[in-house]
Amino acid sequence: MKIIETKNKIIDAKPFQLFSHDHRIIDYQEELLDWSREHLKTEALFYQFQVKEEMVVTYLPDACVNLIFEIKGEEVTSKMLGILTEAKETIFEPGICYFGVKPYTNVGLRCKEKDQSCLVNQLVSLDSQFPAANELIQKFKLVKDFQQRKDLILADHRSIFLDENRRSVLSEYLSVLLCTNTTAISMEKVGDETGYSRRYTQQIFRREIGISPKKYSRIIRFQNAIKAVFAKTDMTLAKLACQLGYYDQAHLIHEFQLFTQQSPKNLMESVTLSK
């Protein structure tokens, strides 16, 4: 699922890191790697960076979870950021190396909390959800660069973070269906595609993914809009609304304000400055 082809355009399906385009971010590195062989979405984005100065960053709504390690000398702090349905501010500080893993799907994660909806918009300690991660966190004190940290995670990630027996084909298939449709998709079509009732599908999807299929689709479409803003400097709101299947420009503006608490115009201006 690296590239999705549609009748309108080609969309890069890689998770998007808006903050990585900020000029205050230094030494940013990322790589898309195999994460789980059992699931339809097999990959995860590994990334690492530092900052020049203390900065307040807004994480935008995102349909992926983040496993985050903050390394300062021999002091390592680890966190899990659940799926975001709203903008969330955090502070990055100089002198800290930030290393993260963003799996394409949270289906199959060995979380202590079995209902993913309980982790939506939450920032929790990593070991509170993955008790077996304690030894891994200690090992992080001994490695020094991006490659070593990737290797360290991939050496034991299956036993620490993944449960091979915990998967939902329905949730996985539906998440792929929603990701590969650049425009909105009705629950009636979802029912036709899956063969399950709307109520049952929503219950399973909310438990395994964390949010409803409709909200998941809206977040994916919003992320695609952000990517389009970055990819094309001449992109107008009218064109964007048309390409991504919003009812009209007003609908697009409403969604942006709901997800980011700012207008598309303001966000596009800040994007232009960052670029």
Name every residue whose Cβ is closer than 8 Å to that of residue 34 and which is 6 or more positions away in sequence: 42, 43, 44
Name every residue whose Cβ is closer than 8 Å to that of residue 145 and which is 6 or more positions away in sequence: none
C-alpha distances out from residue 195 to 175, 206, 266, Å: 15, 17, 42
> Which tens digits make up the pLDDT trace of 206-261?
999 999 998 998 898 888 888 877 776 567 788 888 888 788 888 888 888 888 77
Q: What is the DSSP string of 66-89?
A: EEEEEEETTEEEEEEE--BSS-EE
Number of residues in the chain:
275
Burial 20-42 (b: 16+ CB within 10 A, else e): eebeebeebebebeebbeebbbe
Asked if residue 147 and residue 118 are part of one domain, the reply reads: yes
Asked if residue 221 and residue 124 are part of one domain, the reply reads: no
Asked if residue 154 and residue 224 are part of one domain, the reply reads: no
Cα–Cα distance, 17 to 33 (Å, whole number): 16
What is the average per-residue pLDDT within 27-53? 91
Asked if residue 241 and residue 136 are part of one domain, the reply reads: no
Which of 119, 144, 161 is the last residue before a domain boundary?
Answer: 161
Torsions phi, psi for 3 (to 5 deg):
-130, 130
The residue behind tokens 């699931």 is 39
- According to the model, what pLDDT value does residue 199 have? 86
Which of 161, 192, 217 is the last residue before a domain boundary?
Answer: 161
As given in the structure block, the two tokens for residue 80 are 């899990």
pLDDT band at 151 (very low <50, low <70, confident <90, very high): very high
Asked if residue 99 and residue 36 are part of one domain, the reply reads: yes
Cα–Cα distance, 32 to 3 (Å, whole number): 12
Which of 133, 161, 189 is the last residue before a domain boundary?
Answer: 161
Q: Which of 39, 11, 60, 181 is nearest to 103 (CA)?
A: 39
129 or 173, which is more confident:
129
Q: Answer whether 0.85 is exceeded by the pTM.
A: yes
Strands 66-72 and 97-103: antiparallel
Check if the beta carbon of residue 43 is closer than 8 Å to that of residue 62: no
The residue behind tokens 């979870």 is 65
> Which tens digits make up the pLDDT trace of 164-221?
777 778 888 888 888 877 666 666 777 777 778 888 888 999 999 999 998 998 898 8
Which domain range does residue 71 map to?
A: 3-161
Asked if residue 176 and residue 157 are part of one domain, the reply reads: no
Q: Does 53 have pLDDT greater than 80?
A: yes
Check if the beta carbon of residue 137 is closer than 8 Å to that of residue 152: no
What is the average per-residue pLDDT within 95-124? 93
Task: Please give the single-letter amino acid code of residue 223.
Answer: Q
C-alpha radius of gyration, the chain, whole number: 19
Asked if residue 258 and residue 141 are part of one domain, the reply reads: no
Residue 16: DSSP 8-state: P
Asked if residue 187 and residue 144 are part of one domain, the reply reads: no
Asked if residue 54 and residue 135 are part of one domain, the reply reads: yes
Asked if residue 132 and residue 234 are part of one domain, the reply reads: no
Asked if residue 63 and residue 155 are part of one domain, the reply reads: yes
As given in the structure block, the two tokens for residue 47 are 């990334």
Cα–Cα distance, 125 to 109 (Å, whole number): 15
The domain that contains 264 carries what CATH number? Answer: 1.10.10.60
Domain count within the chain: 2
Asked if residue 141 and residue 177 are part of one domain, the reply reads: no
- According to the model, what pLDDT value does residue 123 have? 95
